[in-house]
Amino acid sequence: MSAVTRVRNARVALLGALAASAFLTAILAFGTVLLVVALADFFQPLPLGLRRVAIPLGVLLAFVAGSLTLWRGRGAWSLPRVALYLEELLPGLQFALVTAVVPAGRRDPALLERAVERGYSAGALRPPILRALVRPAVGLLALVLALVALPGSSVTRVLRPRPGDLLLAPRGRGSPLDRLNPLVVVVSPPAYAGRSPATLDDPASVRALEGSAIVVRGRGAAIAPAESLGLVRGGVVAPARIAGDTWSLSLVMPGRAEVVRLVDGGRTRLLTLEPVLDAPPAVTLRSPRSDSTLARPTGSLLLDATASDDIGLGVFWIELLLTTGGGERFTTTTRRLGLVSPGGAVGAAIRLALRLDTMGLGPGDVLNLRAVARDRNDVTGPGEGSSDTRTIRITDPELKDAIPIVPASAATLDTTVLSQRMLIIRAETLLVRQRRFTPDSFRVQSQRLGERQRMLYDRVQALILELETATDVGFIEETEESKLLRVAGLAMRRAEDHLMRARVSAALPEMYQALDALDKGRTSRRLYLRGMLPRIVVDLEQVRLTGTEKAQVGPRSARPPLPDARRRLLERLERLLPRSGRLGPALADSLTMIRAEALTDTPEAAPFLARALEALRAGRDPGPWLRQSRRVLERESESEPSLSAWRGSR
Amino acid sequence: MRSPADAGAGGRVLLERIARGLAMLSLLWLLVLAFRDRVAPGRAVVESGELPRLLTEWSTSGAPAAVHVRTVGAFAPFARDWLRALAGAGTGVTWEGSALTPTALAVEPVADPEGGTSGWIAAPAEVPTIVEDAVGQLDSIRSGSPGARILVRSGPDELLVRSGSSIARSRVADSLVLGRLLLLGRAGWESKFVAAALEERGWKIDARLRLSPKGDVRQGQVAPIDTTRYSAVLVLDSVGPAEAVRVAEFVRSGGGVIVSGPALRSPGLGVLAAGSPGSMVPGREPFDTSAAEPRRGLELLPLTPRADAVVLERRERLAAVAARRIERGRAVTSGYLDTWRWRMGGSEAAVREHRDWWADLVAGVAHTVRISRPAEGFTDEAPVATLFARLGPSAPAPRSRDGTNPVSRALLFAALMAALLVEWTSRRLRGVR
Amino acid sequence: MRPFTFATGVYASGDWESGQLVSAVVIDSLARHTDLEVSPTGINVALDSAELFEYPFLYLTGHLAVRFSTGERRNLLRFVDRGGFVFMDDHNHDINGVFHKTATEELTKLFGRLEQVPTRHELYRAFFTYEDGPPATNHEMNGWGDNLVHEHLLGILRDGRIDVLYSNKDYSSEWSMHPESKRFMQVDPSRFAVNIVVYALTR
């Protein structure tokens, strides 16, 4: 065998050993990460997120360790380097091997071969190869032994971390018999919500959709008799179900926040149930935009509606009520138009045209249109939401003085009149107090009024638009009312202009004029309706006390005092506050109960109470959060900077 | 041979020696004075911050013959009382202070089924004043003249006021037993909503509401009107002469009465009213929903207050609500008409505000039975006044015992420096270091 | 002091004005039997206006569908919450009719379930005594509507106190007459209105 061949063989052996060593080192690195995480988890259960990182981290470290090993042994690829290495191991070669392998200068091959033959020993590589393999192998063996020594649950929690594996965590040193810690809660929303179940590890409270199925699981059922394990709710104790070492309790999320008690002999643990209520759908009828009265039922009416829901829509339609008749006899038919089944989508729309001439409408008939949507809640519902109603009337020529009315905008006009009056009062007040202001701040105040005047102007313009082009059916010409509103609008614009220039005294006459025109517009619509309005004035003096029937006036019964949930909670909180620094964990149960009540009665205080509970459980002072809660609950004190001669109750 | 310089040197040297001697004497004298101050037999001059430590020491290891305390701001009450005790045991105690903020606080329960605590505060107007209860800060106010008042609806048992360096503390000493209210009026919105507000508040009401010759609407027994049953009577409309007499008698014996609205024009009730009604003043239209002045939208019979009446509320310059004492009782007169419009048409908080307003009027007149509560905790209602009462007035530190008037320390120091300067200058001019 | 004013509610969706004579008849009864200060005419007030709160007694009636707008609902809720009293009467006297179905639906959505007002309720002794509960009307059995005698009134009750009173008995028809017509009657047909108003004014 030539020297080169020997060196090649040696190289193969070394490369093989390197690969094996790198592999073993990688495995060792991976295993070490797992072992460290499993050990840490053994002493203090680690959160799921951290455990999920263990395997990727182990793979990464394994890759790095293996790569490093290969890198360090990269010399084994080179023949000369291998030959040099052999020379080190076999000094008797006296560099004959290297000389044979490295082509350089004049050499005597035969002489070299003989020298190599004399000095070479194939077994020289055995010890270093063994060393390279044995070290990681021993490490690996130790690792395996350590992993075997750990409880299998710890290893499982690292190898297959998943929600709910908290019950596999090693028991804490202090309380092996505490079957109420830890807990795992599995929440399954109602089927209609189409959501997956969620698992919570050791929660203090459970927040879920009303009607969700809740399963509370714990372990240690085998430690002691399970009869003492149960759930107390509303005074009733429900026993736990046992399966091996695991116990479970089932309940349903109520419609109101509640605290339930888990009991095991003398131990108690509270669990707050926080329902998320399924809101009914929000529905808007975009067209028609307002009520209207038609002389003739011709043309088509655009119906445009949208609906949205927090969970999912079940069905959505436009409801049409057609009432015919008169006097005391009316007949109503109900139809559903454009019915859609969104199949759980959170939004839907309907758009269709209603042919009025095909509906057989007659004089005096009334159409009521609204959009209605229902969600898929089959637990407490379905929740139903509806839009505002639009009323379309067909005029009856037999009725006197039938004039189109748009009652909805009548109300808007009323509000506009009130707002204009308020604005005038503020402008007058500003003028009276002008001397108290600097010129700049007076201008700012005046401009604010100008902006309000502008808003009113916009509202009036919208009213004019409604009156003159109100429906999709036909164009209604300028009316008496819209003319008056136009006058009011012009006056408002002039007033706004003055106000923006801080000329309040010049603005006021314009504002009065606007109010006058608005009032006239309002009055003008009070004079008409369908038919004549009788106005009967009762002659009170003539009639007074002429009734002869006997009466026996009954007594009045008292009105009970108003329950004040806020006050009740505040009193309970104030009893706890002075002791918050001292009681520590014992405070947690009382706070849990108060927070559950607050969730329903005074939700603005609930977040602060939650933070107080978190602080308490983390060993911090809950005082600042409790004081915040109190500030939210209590009414502000009332102070006066003077002492009256009247001392109240003395 | 002696040089001319040497010839004059003798005098200069003598001058220098004299100056040096003078400097040494001044220094010595200053030292003696310092020792005297420090070690004046039996007198300690301390700062108030040192008192907690020193008081214990003095009480256990023996107190000096006299103590003078300097303080900026008021002492802690325990230190004040301890010093008083030391003074009683024979130690002469004097003190001098600066930045003392005179403050006083008195608290009382409110005659209201929902409770509440009223506090009356005296403090300097320019000093911000913080009001607290056992849990934390309630409000910060600036007293007007002569003081301030605070109403805490949650009804804490104890209030504390910090004003400058002073802390005043007071506790509610009594519980109140409330009687019933008697409502006299006509069936109508005002009586309905006033009754509703007060019953929602927790008051128990008897009522007689005129309705018809066929009968009146009644609630409870309109029994003899006396303070064993009723805390107050509310008259919302005119009453007959006999009834007016009974109500007046009730008030004179300690009861309370509120006369409101149309009842102001009732002849029999004039003797109880705190003012006579004028012509009706309309309210602001539309009804003012602004929270700041909700009652501006109400019609008002402005009052001309009696001489002995206190005006509780004004609208612009018109007296709207006034109160007066009538022998042992109290009467409030309100000129507002149809306050129910405020409850129905006011802002979001109008229902609660209307209820509060009526409850406060009733609390101001209600006859109550007081029951003392066991004393708990610690009060210090007028810390500065108590300091003066216990330890006498503030005075500067007394002089040392032998009565000599020592040379002013400043003069001595000036003399010392002058002597040193002279001595040094003279040597330098002589060319001697 | 403001007198009692009989207010009829104006709502957008139906024929709110169908009982326009009722106000005069009720005012007439109040004057006949009591000393109450009463306004001699009624008033119509829009449900979604600020004016509504000046009239804590509200009468609603109609034959057609009742579908309150957002503003009307908001105001009604606030009105009742603050102490206002609503008296609503089905002018059709028809429990299968559109007014009853839609009005009760609206009231239930706003205030909760409508309950039967017990026969022994204070309302029936507030002025005149009605031992058997609400008095029947001539219209209940007139061949129109559902042709039933409705034994109970319905209501929204809080702690036994009526905030909203609902009737199927068609008092609106019974009381739709000129007050002068009463001189031909032995018994005032609208006496029960006195109970309703007195109850609203004093409870």
Which among C36, C84, C39 has a CA at the least distance from the CA of C60?
A: C84
The DSSP-derived string for A87-154 is HHH-GGGTTHHHHHHS--S---HHHHHHHHHHH--GGGGHHHHHHHHHHHHHHHHHHHHHHHHS-HHH
pLDDT band at B326 (very low <50, low <70, confident <90, very high): very high
Which among B261, B255, B381 has a CA at the least distance from the CA of B330?
A: B255
Q: Which chain C residue shows the shortest CA-CA distance from B337? A: C1
With a cut of 70, say whether residue A342 has pLDDT above it. Answer: yes
With pLDDT > 70 as the criterion, what percentage of chain C qualifies? 98
Contact B110 A648 (CB under 8 A): yes
Interface of C with A in 132-161 (CB under 8 A): 144-145, 159-161
Residue tagged 């313009």 (tokens): A461
C51: contact with A, CB 8 A cutoff:
yes
Averaged pLDDT score across all residues of chain B: 86
Tokens encoding C83 = 């102490």
The per-residue pLDDT for C148 is 78
Q: Do A271 and A288 belong to one domain?
A: no
The DSSP-derived string for C116-159 is EPPTT-GGGGSSS--TTSSPP-TTTTSSSTT-------EEEEET
Q: In chain C, what residues touch B341 (CB-CB under 8 Å)?
A: 2, 53-54
User: B191, B198, B211, B287: which to substitute to probe chain C, counting the most C Cβ within 10 Å?
Assistant: B211
CA distance readout (Å), A433 to A296, A504, B112, B288, B357: 57, 12, 39, 19, 29
Q: Which chain A residue shows the shortest CA-CA distance from B329? A: A650
Distance CA A525, CA A462 (A): 17
Contact C79 B350 (CB under 8 A): no
With a cut of 70, say whether residue A58 has pLDDT above it. Answer: yes
Residue A117 lies in a domain: yes
The per-residue pLDDT for B40 is 46
Q: Which chain B residue shows the shortest CA-CA distance from A649? A: B364
The per-residue pLDDT for B399 is 62
Distance CA A97, CA B285 (A): 117
- Alpha carbon dihedral A423, A429, A435, A441, in 10-degree steps, equals -30
Higher pLDDT, residue B404 or A557: A557
CATH number of C7-202: 3.40.50.12140
Which among A466, A469, A464, A468 has a CA at the least distance from the CA of A487?
A: A464
| Domain extent for A295 | 282-402
| Total structural domains within chain A | 5
Handedness of CA A179, A181, A598, A197 (dihedral sign): negative
Q: Do A151 and A10 belong to one domain?
A: yes
pLDDT band at A19 (very low <50, low <70, confident <90, very high): very high
Residue A546 lies in a domain: no
Q: Nearest Cβ partner of B214 from C4, C33, C202?
A: C33
Tokens encoding B284 = 């602001």
CATH number at residue A213: 2.60.40.10
Contact C144 A328 (CB under 8 A): yes
Q: Quick one: B427 exposed, middle or buried, by C-beta within 10 A (0-12, 13-18, 19+)?
A: middle
pLDDT band at A641 (very low <50, low <70, confident <90, very high): confident
Yes or no: say if C75 and C47 are a contact pair by the CB < 8 Å rule.
yes
A559: contact with B, CB 8 A cutoff:
yes
Which among A561, A333, A181 has a CA at the least distance from the CA of B115?
A: A561
pLDDT band at B61 (very low <50, low <70, confident <90, very high): confident
Q: Which chain A residue shows the shortest CA-CA distance from B209? A: A556
Residue A302 lies in a domain: yes
Q: In chain B, what residues touch A558 (CB-CB under 8 Å)?
A: 199, 204-205, 219-220
Q: Do A12 and A131 belong to one domain?
A: yes
Q: Do A236 and A383 belong to one domain?
A: no
Helices (H), A350-438: 407-432
Q: Which chain C residue shows the shortest CA-CA distance from B345? A: C53
Higher pLDDT, residue B392 or A470: B392
Is the entire prediction scored with pTM above 0.80? Answer: no
Q: In chain B, what residues touch C29 (CB-CB under 8 Å)?
A: none
Mean pLDDT of A556-565: 90
Tokens encoding B24 = 């040494």
pLDDT band at A406 (very low <50, low <70, confident <90, very high): very low
pLDDT tens readout for residues B92-123: 888 888 778 888 999 999 999 998 999 999 98
With a cut of 50, say whether residue B410 has pLDDT above it. Answer: yes
User: A556, A569, A621: which to substitute to probe chain B, counting the most B Cβ within 10 Å?
Assistant: A556
Residue A209 lies in a domain: yes
Domain final residue, candidates A126, A159, A192: A159
Segments of chain C assigned E as strands: 7-10, 43-46, 57-62, 85-90, 115-116, 154-158, 161-167
Strand A366-375, strand A390-394: pairing: antiparallel
Q: In chain A, what residues touch B109 (CB-CB under 8 Å)?
A: 649
Q: Nearest Cβ partner of B286 from C50, C127, C201?
A: C50
Mean pLDDT of A449-463: 87
CA distance readout (Å), A609 to A381, A570, A621, B138: 31, 12, 13, 20
Q: Do A421 and A444 belong to one domain?
A: yes
Contact C48 A329 (CB under 8 A): no
Domain boundaries, chain C: 7-202
Higher pLDDT, residue B398 or A620: A620
Q: Nearest Cβ partner of B215 from A552, A648, A649?
A: A552
The H-or-E segment that residue A213 falls in is strand A213-219
To the nearest whole angstrom, how far is the Cα of C63 from the nearest Cα of chain B? 29
Q: Nearest Cβ partner of B154 from A553, A570, A578?
A: A570
Give this complex's ipTM. Answer: 0.95
pLDDT tens readout for residues A368-404: 999 999 999 999 889 999 999 999 988 877 654 443 3
Domains of chain B: 10-99+385-429 (no CATH), 104-173+373-381 (2.60.40), 178-372 (3.40.50.880)
Least confident of A135-149, A157-171, B244-258: A157-171
Tokens encoding A611 = 């933070």
Yes or no: say if A596 and A261 are a contact pair by the CB < 8 Å rule.
no
Averaged pLDDT score across all residues of chain A: 85
Q: Angle of helix C22-33 relative to helix C191-202, nearest 10 degrees?
A: 80
Distance CA B248, CA B321 (A): 19
Strand B180-186, strand B205-212: pairing: parallel
Contact B149 A639 (CB under 8 A): yes
Interface of B with A in 101-160 (CB under 8 A): 108-111, 113-114, 118, 120, 122, 131, 134-136, 138-139, 141-154, 156
Higher pLDDT, residue A645 or C122: C122
To the nearest whole angstrom, how far is the Cα of A323 from the nearest Cα of chain C? 7
Contact C82 B191 (CB under 8 A): no
Q: Nearest Cβ partner of A410 from C31, C46, C128?
A: C46
Q: Do A219 and A147 belong to one domain?
A: no
Q: Do A42 and A147 belong to one domain?
A: yes
pLDDT band at B66 (very low <50, low <70, confident <90, very high): confident
Contacts of B14 by beta carbon, 8 Å cutoff, 6+ apart: none
Q: Which chain C residue shows the shortest CA-CA distance from A553? A: C127
Domain final residue, candidates A255, A276, A297: A276
To the nearest whole angstrom, how far is the Cα of C125 from the nearest Cα of chain A? 5
Residue A615 lies in a domain: yes
Residue A305 lies in a domain: yes
The three-point CA angle B118-B121-B127 to 5° equals 140
Q: In chain B, what residues touch C198 (CB-CB under 8 Å)?
A: 187, 211, 217
Q: Nearest Cβ partner of C202 from A414, A530, A556?
A: A556
Three-state DSSP state, B71: strand
For residue A66, the tally of other CB atoms under 10 A from its CB is 21
Residue C164's DSSP bridge partners are C86, C156
Yes or no: say if B359 and B114 are a contact pair by the CB < 8 Å rule.
yes
Which chain A residues have any C-beta within 8 angstroms of a chain C C-beta? 291, 321, 323, 328-330, 332, 366, 368, 370, 388-389, 391, 407-408, 410-411, 414-415, 418, 529-530, 533-540, 543-547, 549-554, 556-557, 559-560
Strand B329-334, strand A184-188: pairing: unpaired
Least confident of B7-11, B210-214, B305-309, C103-107: B7-11
Q: Do A20 and A143 belong to one domain?
A: yes
Contact A560 B199 (CB under 8 A): yes
User: A330, A386, A391, A535: which to substitute to probe chain C, counting the most C Cβ within 10 Å?
Assistant: A330
Q: Do A426 and A518 belong to one domain?
A: yes
To the nearest whole angstrom, how far is the Cα of A488 from the nearest Cα of chain B? 19
The per-residue pLDDT for C22 is 94
Contact B149 A644 (CB under 8 A): yes
Helices (H) and strands (E) in chain A — how many of each?
17, 20
pLDDT tens readout for residues A248-305: 999 999 999 999 999 988 888 999 999 999 999 999 999 898 888 888 888 888 999 9
Mean pLDDT of A640-646: 76
Contact B189 C82 (CB under 8 A): no
Contact C4 B186 (CB under 8 A): no
Distance CA B312, CA B149 (A): 13
The per-residue pLDDT for A632 is 83
Which chains have 3 or more CB–CB distances shorter than 8 Å to chain A? B, C
Mean pLDDT of B185-205: 96
Tokens encoding A586 = 């014992």
The amino acid occupying position B396 is P
Residue A166 lies in a domain: no
To the nearest whole angstrom, how far is the Cα of B189 from the nearest Cα of chain A? 15
Q: In chain B, what residues touch A645 (CB-CB under 8 Å)?
A: 310
Contacts of C130 by beta carbon, 8 Å cutoff, 6+ apart: C124, C192, C195
Q: In chain B, what residues touch C33 (CB-CB under 8 Å)?
A: 212, 214
Q: Nearest Cβ partner of A549 from C24, C173, C188?
A: C188
Mean pLDDT of A503-526: 82
For residue B191, the tally of other CB atoms under 10 A from its CB is 25
Contact C65 A540 (CB under 8 A): no
Yes or no: say if B70 and B395 are a contact pair by the CB < 8 Å rule.
no
Q: Do A591 and A515 belong to one domain?
A: no
pLDDT tens readout for residues B335-346: 999 999 999 998
A543: contact with B, CB 8 A cutoff:
no
pLDDT tens readout for residues C19-57: 888 999 999 999 999 999 999 989 899 998 888 999 999
For residue C25, the tally of other CB atoms under 10 A from its CB is 27
Residue A548 lies in a domain: no
The per-residue pLDDT for A649 is 41
- Alpha carbon dihedral A147, A148, A150, A153, in 10-degree steps, equals 100
C74: contact with A, CB 8 A cutoff:
no
Yes or no: say if A288 and A340 are a contact pair by the CB < 8 Å rule.
no
The per-residue pLDDT for B100 is 83
The per-residue pLDDT for A401 is 46
The per-residue pLDDT for B318 is 92
With pLDDT > 70 as the criterion, what percentage of chain B qualifies? 91
